[in-house]
Amino acid sequence: MFSSLSKLSALVAVLGIASTADASPTCTKPAVRKNWNTLSKPEKTDFLNSIKCLAKLPHNPALKTTFNPEGLPKRNESGSFYDDIIFMHMDISPPMHTQGLFLPWHRWYINAFEGALKDKCGFKGTLPYWDWTKDAADFEHASVYMDDDEESGFGGWGDPKQDFQITTGAFKDFHVSYPNYHRVRRNFTLQPYFPLSRSEYPIADLKANETFSATEVQRMIGDFDGDYQAMSQYIDAEQGARWAVHLIAGGDFADACPTNAVGCTPDTKWSANDPLFWIHHAFLDKIWSDWQNHNVKDNFNTFAPGATAKNTTKNSMMVSDGMFEATTFGNVIDTKGGFLCYTYE
């Protein structure tokens, strides 16, 4: 994604800017984020309709480019507000990955998305999470992919005759703008590492679902007390749980180029095109929260940005590309700290 480590370091150095933000309000009644599979049909429908609502809203002219990583598509000003949120991820997310910045930035990002659903589309619920440990053993037939309900279901796998575009569920006609205009695609790929770089993905025959079992998640929560950096890197490793869920799902979720995308650079972080992104990252956020609360003394307030982001502190400001209210990294450490006000069931 970046041509050199020095370039990455220079980009992340932007995050060393100190905050001048006011103190956050008090969180007295935290909202409760729930497991997707426990929601009622009306609750699921409300969430999915709100996502589709964002995709019908016009482009936000306040959107700007901050990092401009290699391969970033040009901003599509004829796209939707949802596309703008995807552009943010493409622009900002690359220097956040493999760093201690990954978890707090994505905690902020999905919270901003939840806020947009509420403020712009009247969403009444909370951002749900997808516990994919329950689906790891037979991911191809995970309940989230088996629900073809056109109001309350995410829909299934894509049609290989149509570049794996999905044809069922609430998002069967869901179009996105990046890397080009197309319908969202999914392609179940149990062993996605064979064609990828051996330097980045050394275990070529690894089955992706082996990395996100319940046993693996328990390790994430229980084996890294006091070592935030090790916990974060374990989750976000190239062959770790976070990316494995993307790769096994294929298509947009895996940053794969559509067949008709001329000059497309794969792995350019448009994975949020697939609305499953939001409930996937909500579960990653829950894992971090569970780790924090597993050992409050050693874990809860721990933050380590990583070697290439060493100038970043809890007082450094998030980058928001002009889309949402920015805050400090420190303000998102506690999900009930005031800037944030939620917990997980």
248-286 pLDDT per residue, tens? 999 999 999 999 999 998 888 999 999 999 999 999 999
Cis peptide before 305 (omega within 30 of 0): no
139-149 pLDDT per residue, tens? 999 999 999 99
How sure is the predictor about 178, in pLDDT bands with cuts at 50, 70 and 90? very high
Contact 230, 139 (CB under 8 A): no
Asked if residue 95 has pLDDT above 90, the reply is no
Contact 327, 339 (CB under 8 A): yes
Residue 18 is given by DSSP the state B
What's the whole-number mean pLDDT along residues 97-106? Answer: 88
Residue with the larger pLDDT of the pair 6 and 276: 276
CB atoms within 10 A of CB 265: 15
Asked if residue 319 has pLDDT above 80, the reply is yes
Q: Looking at the domain assignment, is residue 4 inside a domain?
A: no
Task: State the pLDDT at residue 10.
Answer: 47
Q: Looking at the domain assignment, is residue 304 inside a domain?
A: yes
Q: Looking at the domain assignment, is residue 24 inside a domain?
A: no
**Rounded mean pLDDT of the chain?**
92
How sure is the predictor about 19, in pLDDT bands with cuts at 50, 70 and 90? low
Query: Residue written as tokens 């809203």?
Result: 57
Q: What are phi and psi of 316, to 5 degrees?
A: -75, 145
Structure tokens at 193: 């590492």
Q: Looking at the domain assignment, is residue 18 inside a domain?
A: no
Q: Looking at the domain assignment, is residue 223 inside a domain?
A: yes
Asked if residue 119 has pLDDT above 90, the reply is yes
Q: Looking at the domain assignment, is residue 23 inside a domain?
A: no
Instruction: Indicate the residue type of 70.
Output: E
Asked if residue 22 has pLDDT above 60, the reply is no
Number of domains, the chain? 1
Contact 320, 88 (CB under 8 A): yes
Q: Looking at the domain assignment, is residue 22 inside a domain?
A: no
What's the whole-number mean pLDDT along residues 97-102? Answer: 82
| Cα three-residue angle 161-279-63, rounded to 5 degrees | 85
Q: What percent of the chain has pLDDT above 70?
A: 93
3 state DSSP class of 28: coil
Residue with the larger pLDDT of the pair 190 and 14: 190
Structure tokens at 263: 């000059």
How sure is the predictor about 8, in pLDDT bands with cuts at 50, 70 and 90? very low
Report the distance separating Cα 202 and Cα 189, nearest Å.
Answer: 17
198-231 pLDDT per residue, tens? 888 999 999 999 999 999 999 999 999 999 999 9
Helix (H) or strand (E) holding 310: none
Task: State the pLDDT at residue 1.
Answer: 42
- Which CATH number fits the domain that encloses residue 303? 1.10.1280.10
Task: State the pLDDT at residue 15.
Answer: 58
Residue 282, exposed/middle/buried by CB under 10 A (0-12, 13-18, 19+)? buried
Task: State the pLDDT at residue 6.
Answer: 43
Q: Looking at the domain assignment, is residue 20 inside a domain?
A: no
Asked if residue 173 has pLDDT above 50, the reply is yes
Task: Show the domain range for 311.
Answer: 31-344
How sure is the predictor about 97, in pLDDT bands with cuts at 50, 70 and 90? confident
Instruction: Indicate the residue type of 245.
Output: V
How sure is the predictor about 328, in pLDDT bands with cuts at 50, 70 and 90? very high
